């Protein structure tokens, strides 16, 4: 709901309020963002207004008429340069006379009944309430528009800005943020998620004390180095209690989130396009649109904030055929084959996949041009006749005949110098003509600032996607930018490259996703190097990381879940020892982690033992039975000694939980599983799936039970292992939601104490899934 009381604006969601007002000096003063306040008149708002009597210290006053106002010490909706505010600005423009002073003052405001379209960028859908505030800098004839969209039931407010040059002289826009939040004090923890390839999304909590802290990407994409999702919370906030702001950007390029403590203790947060190496020329009548920032506040801890973000993303960011549709379980060819693929191998692997219940077979990198390694062929999107002698369509038909859908890997934004595309169009790449270029993975980036390149890629990809029955596309992007230069743009527009690239990419994705509405697109950028809300506007799911090690992956998925729903996070069960870490984990644990989200497999199923295949078949059947919960359920992180997740159906009648242990702590055998999201008074059946363990897992302890001595790993040991299985523990309880939420005392874990079905086999990296189902009647 958007209300105006005299000179004040109140934006309300179900549980939050956002309030600002017009200052007598005509800037917009931020008054409040947080837990919902009851407001029904401008009088009610008065206590929120700082009572300035004089400007502090040696600050500049805005004008003689208002000696009490120094913009350096005001909470503003949009900070500017040159009129006294010296904190991190919202907007920075260089005018024709060389000045960078901007004095945007309130002009008018109106309430719109839908989201004003953003022409160049994707934006959130389904809104019916928008506040549009226009500010004008009269001296330079430039307009700044601020847009606020209110998503009432999601507790989400979005913000963005537009600059319009009405001056006959061109202006240079050096910065335009998407949102700004000024707080009265700086008692916050700023949480960022940083990392690198195979090590995405490490959570870092920074106590805000003084100065400027920046979380930003300069890779050309949103990056694994610093995800655009950040949080500001109270230092006592936990998963279940306390204040937290979740903040994100609908953008896939270089982003910037800064927190600054001003000289008088107030704190400013801004986020938007990274201003580093960004500068846009605007001629008379031209406009610049910032990406949309997404803001969520919860007074009930991280889980509640995440829940709101998840629903908003599922309903207002993700769109198209697959938005709310259950996603297929896939087998990806990459780790089983790398570049060494051919028709015969793929068909063999697809047959094995069909037997265990896989829905979709994905042919990853290596199928086109002369792609025997990563040094050639990107750009030449024709199948390699050596590997696929009967062509792509033939392979797809064969895979379909096996009973599987077919998906394909592409990396359209890239080109190898050793490719026909590069040979024919050497001026179609981001590179500085005539200079030595730095490459990543032996590849260069196509210049999506050039509309001809975007049109070409639209045609080539459209042809490929229509050449066979393709149901899924994995869209990869494997390098960061260097030699940042577009041969298409003039010298004075080279600082526009990063942003124009993203606009070109969105145009390409818009065309393709509209022309092929039924294809399921999965984003990927060397794993999670472009995991953001911009990509999710086109692709409902993203490959979260190239790291499939269950222990690393637990942390990566856990961190993504703060800002992104399970339906967006794609995970695979892969080989052991793991290809990234050489860590050995059980098939059980690999599945137990991967099933929270979009499940796939990435291992050579044709090489696996019958025992492993049987287990995988059970996993897939189990996943399909609970797929809706795993992909779209309400997800909770539980803070306790063990890693503990719980995902619950919308009606709260069903849940699946997981515990995971990293390393055994000897003689600590009593663990709990803690549920979340259940109805307190409802009765539930709590149980696990009974497992049988290979006796070899207990090593030479077999001799404590065997009447004859068995040498470890001997033939006798193998034979016994074939026939003797160790029974796993059984959990089976009937109780209330409130007790499950308090915690379930689980069977005692093994600790040099003998073993039977009353003992939990719980070694390093062990995990368990637990099932919770509503009972029809109290038992
Ligand atoms: C990087 C991706 O993250 C991998 O999954 C795989 O598709 C390779 N690229 C292929 O080159």
The confidence score (pLDDT) of residue 292 equals: 98
Query: Which residue lies with its CA nearest to atom 11 of ligand 1?
Result: 365
- pLDDT tens per residue, range 722-742: 999 999 999 999 999 999 999
Determine what percent of the chain is predicted with pLDDT higher than 70. 100
Query: Which residue lies with its CA nearest to atom 9 of ligand 1?
Result: 526
Q: Is residue 190 within 8 Å of residue 224, measured between CB atoms?
A: no
Query: Which residue lies with its CA nearest to atom 5 of ligand 1?
Result: 546
Which residues are near ligand 1 (CB < 6 Å)?
Answer: 334, 364-365, 409, 476, 478, 524, 526-527, 543, 546
Quote the mean pLDDT of the chain.
97
Mutate to test the pocket of ligand 1, among 378, 522, 528, 546 (most ligand atoms within 8 A of CB): 546
Place of tokens 């059947």: 621
Helix axes 391-402, 343-356, angle to 10 degrees: 20
Sign of CA dihedral 607, 613, 619, 624: positive
How many angstroms separate the alpha carbon of residue 693 from the centre of ligand 1? 34
How many angstroms separate the alpha carbon of residue 438 from the centre of ligand 1? 21
Half-sphere exposure of 241 (CA within 13 A, CB side): 2
Task: Output the 3-class SS for 615-663.
Answer: HHHHHHHHHHHCHHHHHHCEEEEECCCCEEEEEECCCCCEEEEEEECCC
The confidence score (pLDDT) of residue 162 equals: 98
Helix axes 610-625, 587-594, angle to 10 degrees: 20
How many angstroms separate the alpha carbon of residue 634 from the centre of ligand 1? 30
C-alpha 199/C-alpha 727 separation (Å) is 36
Q: Is residue 333 within 8 Å of residue 362, measured between CB atoms?
A: yes
- pLDDT tens per residue, range 258-286: 999 999 999 999 999 999 999 999 999 99
The confidence score (pLDDT) of residue 127 equals: 87
C-alpha 543/C-alpha 602 separation (Å) is 12
pLDDT at 779 over 60: no
How many angstroms separate the alpha carbon of residue 466 from the centre of ligand 1? 23
Q: What is the mean pLDDT of residues 316-335?
A: 98
Instruction: Give the atom of ligand 1 at the shortest distance from the alpha carbon of 409.
Output: 7
Q: What is the mean pLDDT of residues 581-604?
A: 98
How many angstroms separate the alpha carbon of residue 524 from the centre of ligand 1? 8
- pLDDT tens per residue, range 414-425: 999 999 999 999
Report the relative pairing of strands 683-687 and 767-774 from DSSP bridges: antiparallel
Mutate to test the pocket of ligand 1, among 362, 364, 416, 474 (most ligand atoms within 8 A of CB): 364
Query: Which residue lies with its CA nearest to atom 2 of ligand 1?
Result: 526
Which residues are catalytically annotated? 476, 546
Place of tokens 């001056």: 167
Mutate to test the pocket of ligand 1, among 199, 334, 571, 575 (most ligand atoms within 8 A of CB): 334
pLDDT band at 300 (very low <50, low <70, confident <90, very high): very high
Mutate to test the pocket of ligand 1, among 529, 543, 547, 579 (most ligand atoms within 8 A of CB): 543
Tokens of 423: 């040979």
The confidence score (pLDDT) of residue 654 equals: 98
Model confidence pTM above 0.85: yes
Instruction: Give the atom of ligand 1 at the shortest distance from the alpha carbon of 474.
Output: 7
- pLDDT tens per residue, range 598-620: 999 999 999 999 999 999 999 99
Instruction: Give the atom of ligand 1 at the shortest distance from the alpha carbon of 526.
Output: 3
Q: In angstroms, how far is the first alpha carbon of the chain from the final one?
A: 46
The confidence score (pLDDT) of residue 52 equals: 95
pLDDT at 124 over 90: yes
Q: What is the mean pLDDT of residues 323-329?
A: 98
C-alpha 76/C-alpha 205 separation (Å) is 26
In the chain, count H helices and then E strands.
15, 40
The confidence score (pLDDT) of residue 366 equals: 98
The confidence score (pLDDT) of residue 753 equals: 79
- pLDDT tens per residue, range 457-486: 999 999 999 999 999 999 999 999 999 999
Mutate to test the pocket of ligand 1, among 199, 368, 409 (most ligand atoms within 8 A of CB): 409
How many angstroms separate the alpha carbon of residue 195 from the centre of ligand 1? 18
C-alpha 358/C-alpha 331 separation (Å) is 7
- pLDDT tens per residue, range 28-58: 999 999 999 999 999 999 999 999 999 999 9
- Alpha-carbon torsion angle 742, 746, 752, 757, nearest 10: 180
Instruction: Give the atom of ligand 1 at the shortest distance from the alpha carbon of 524.
Output: 3
pLDDT at 778 over 80: no
Q: Is residue 225 within 8 Å of residue 195, measured between CB atoms?
A: yes
The confidence score (pLDDT) of residue 640 equals: 87
Half-sphere exposure of 113 (CA within 13 A, CB side): 0
Mutate to test the pocket of ligand 1, among 196, 443, 522, 524 (most ligand atoms within 8 A of CB): 524
CB atoms within 10 A of CB 655: 27
- pLDDT tens per residue, range 515-526: 999 999 999 999
How many angstroms separate the alpha carbon of residue 618 from the centre of ligand 1? 28
Instruction: Give the atom of ligand 1 at the shortest distance from the alpha carbon of 525.
Output: 3
C-alpha 590/C-alpha 765 separation (Å) is 10
pLDDT band at 777 (very low <50, low <70, confident <90, very high): low
Helix axes 550-563, 301-312, angle to 10 degrees: 80
Query: Which residue lies with its CA nearest to atom 1 of ligand 1?
Result: 526
pLDDT at 635 over 60: yes
How many angstroms separate the alpha carbon of residue 46 from the centre of ligand 1? 56
- pLDDT tens per residue, range 141-172: 999 999 999 999 999 999 999 999 999 999 99
Helix (H, G, I), strand (E, B) or coil at 536: helix
How many angstroms separate the alpha carbon of residue 521 from the centre of ligand 1? 15
Report the relative pairing of strands 541-543 and 520-523 from DSSP bridges: parallel
How many angstroms separate the alpha carbon of residue 279 from the centre of ligand 1? 33
How many angstroms separate the alpha carbon of residue 411 from the centre of ligand 1? 9
The confidence score (pLDDT) of residue 705 equals: 87
Q: E strands, 78-186, where?
A: 91-94, 105-112, 130-137, 142-151, 156-165, 171-183
Tokens of 10: 């109140």
Instruction: Tell me the β-bridge partners of 156.
Output: 151, 296
- pLDDT tens per residue, range 513-560: 999 999 999 999 999 999 999 999 999 999 999 999 999 999 999 999
How many angstroms separate the alpha carbon of residue 355 from the centre of ligand 1? 26
Instruction: Give the atom of ligand 1 at the shortest distance from the alpha carbon of 543.
Output: 3
CA distances from 362 to 233, 385, 409, 411, 471 (A): 41, 18, 7, 14, 10
Instruction: Give the atom of ligand 1 at the shortest distance from the alpha carbon of 602.
Output: 5
Tokens of 555: 């942390």
Q: Is residue 250 within 8 Å of residue 564, measured between CB atoms?
A: no
Instruction: Give the atom of ligand 1 at the shortest distance from the alpha carbon of 374.
Output: 11
Q: Which residues contact 87 (CB under 8 A, 6 or more apart)?
A: 72, 79, 260, 262, 268
Q: What is the mean pLDDT of residues 61-73?
A: 95
Q: Which residues contact 339 (CB under 8 A, 6 or more apart)?
A: 365, 366, 371, 372, 373, 374
Q: Is residue 180 within 8 Å of residue 232, measured between CB atoms?
A: no
How many angstroms separate the alpha carbon of residue 372 from the centre of ligand 1? 14
pLDDT at 176 over 90: yes
Instruction: Give the atom of ligand 1 at the shortest distance from the alpha carbon of 364.
Output: 7
């Amino acid at each position: 709901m958007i209300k105006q009381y005299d000179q004040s604006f109140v934006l309300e969601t179900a549980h939050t309020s956002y309030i600002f007002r017009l200052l007598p000096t005509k800037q917009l003063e931020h008054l409040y963002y947080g837990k919902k306040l009851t407001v029904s008149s401008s009088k009610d708002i008065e206590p929120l207004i700082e009572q300035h009597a004089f400007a502090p210290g040696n600050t500049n006053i805005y004008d003689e008429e208002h000696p009490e106002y120094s913009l350096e010490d005001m909470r503003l909706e949009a900070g500017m340069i040159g009129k006294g505010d010296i904190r991190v600005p919202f907007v920075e423009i260089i005018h024709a006379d060389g000045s960078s002073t901007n004095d945007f003052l309130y002009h008018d405001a109106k309430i719109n009944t839908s989201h004003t379209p953003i022409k160049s960028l994707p934006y959130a859908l389904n809104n019916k309430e928008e506040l549009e505030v226009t500010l004008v800098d009269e001296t330079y004839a430039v307009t700044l528009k601020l847009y606020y969209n209110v998503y009432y039931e999601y507790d989400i407010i979005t913000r963005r800005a537009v600059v319009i040059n009405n001056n006959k002289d061109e202006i240079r826009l050096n910065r335009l943020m998407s949102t700004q939040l000024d707080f009265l004090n700086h008692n916050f923890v700023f949480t960022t998620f940083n990392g690198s390839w195979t090590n995405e999304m490490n959570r870092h909590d920074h106590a805000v004390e003084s100065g400027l802290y920046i979380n930003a990407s300069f890779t050309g994409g949103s990056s694994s180095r610093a995800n655009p999702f950040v949080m500001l919370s109270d230092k006592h906030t936990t998963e279940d209690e306390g204040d937290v702001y979740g903040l994100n950007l609908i953008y896939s390029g270089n982003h910037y989130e800064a927190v600054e403590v001003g000289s008088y203790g107030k704190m400013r947060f801004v986020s938007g396009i990274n201003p580093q190496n960004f500068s846009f020329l605007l001629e008379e009548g031209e406009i610049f649109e910032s990406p949309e920032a997404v803001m969520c506040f919860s007074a009930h801890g991280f889980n509640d904030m995440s829940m709101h973000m998840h629903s908003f993303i599922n309903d207002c960011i993700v769109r198209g055929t697959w938005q709310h549709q259950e996603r297929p379980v896939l087998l990806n060819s990459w780790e089983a084959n790398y570049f060494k693929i051919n028709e015969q191998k793929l068909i063999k692997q697809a047959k094995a996949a069909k037997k265990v219940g896989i829905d979709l077979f994905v042919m990853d990198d290596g199928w086109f041009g002369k792609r025997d390694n990563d040094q050639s062929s990107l750009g030449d999107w024709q199948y390699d006749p050596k590997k696929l002698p009967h062509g792509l369509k033939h392979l797809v038909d064969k895979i379909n005949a096996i009973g599987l859908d077919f998906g394909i890997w592409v990396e359209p934004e890239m080109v190898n110098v050793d490719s026909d595309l590069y040979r024919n169009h050497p001026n179609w790449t981001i590179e500085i003509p005539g200079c030595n270029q730095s490459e990543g993975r032996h590849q260069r980036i196509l210049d999506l600032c050039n509309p001809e390149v975007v049109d070409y890629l639209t045609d080539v990809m459209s042809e490929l996607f229509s050449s066979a029955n393709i149901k899924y596309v994995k869209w990869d992007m494997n390098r960061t930018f260097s030699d940042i230069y577009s041969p298409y743009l003039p010298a004075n527009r080279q600082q526009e490259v990063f942003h124009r690239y993203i606009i070109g990419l969105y145009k390409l994705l818009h065309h393709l996703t509209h022309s092929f509405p039924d294809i399921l697109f999965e984003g990927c950028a060397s794993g999670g190097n472009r995991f953001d809300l911009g990509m999710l506007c086109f692709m409902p799911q993203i490959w979260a990381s190239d790291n499939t090690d269950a222990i690393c992956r637990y942390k990566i998925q856990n961190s993504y879940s703060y800002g992104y729903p399970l339906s967006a996070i794609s995970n695979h069960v892969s080989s052991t020892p793991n290809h990234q870490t050489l860590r050995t984990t059980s098939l059980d644990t690999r599945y137990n982690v991967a099933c929270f989200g979009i499940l796939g497999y990435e291992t050579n199923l044709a090489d696996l033992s019958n025992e492993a295949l049987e287990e995988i078949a059970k996993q897939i059947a189990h996943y399909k039975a609970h797929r809706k919960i795993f992909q779209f359920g309400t997800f909770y992180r539980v803070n306790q000694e063990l890693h503990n997740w719980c995902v619950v159906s919308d009606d709260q009648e069903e849940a699946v939980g997981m515990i995971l242990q990293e390393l055994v702590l000897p003689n600590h055998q009593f663990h709990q599983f803690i549920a979340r999201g259940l109805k307190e008074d409802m009765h539930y059946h709590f149980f696990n799936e009974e497992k049988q363990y290979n006796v070899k897992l207990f090593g030479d302890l077999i001799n404590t039970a065997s009447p004859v001595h068995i040498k470890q790993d001997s033939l006798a040991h193998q034979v016994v292992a074939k026939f003797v299985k160790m029974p796993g523990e059984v959990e089976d309880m009937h109780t209330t939601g409130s007790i499950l939420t308090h915690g379930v005392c689980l069977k005692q874990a093994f600790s040099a104490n003998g073993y039977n079905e009353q003992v939990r086999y719980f070694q390093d990296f062990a995990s368990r899934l637990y099932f919770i189902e509503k009972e029809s009647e109290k038992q």
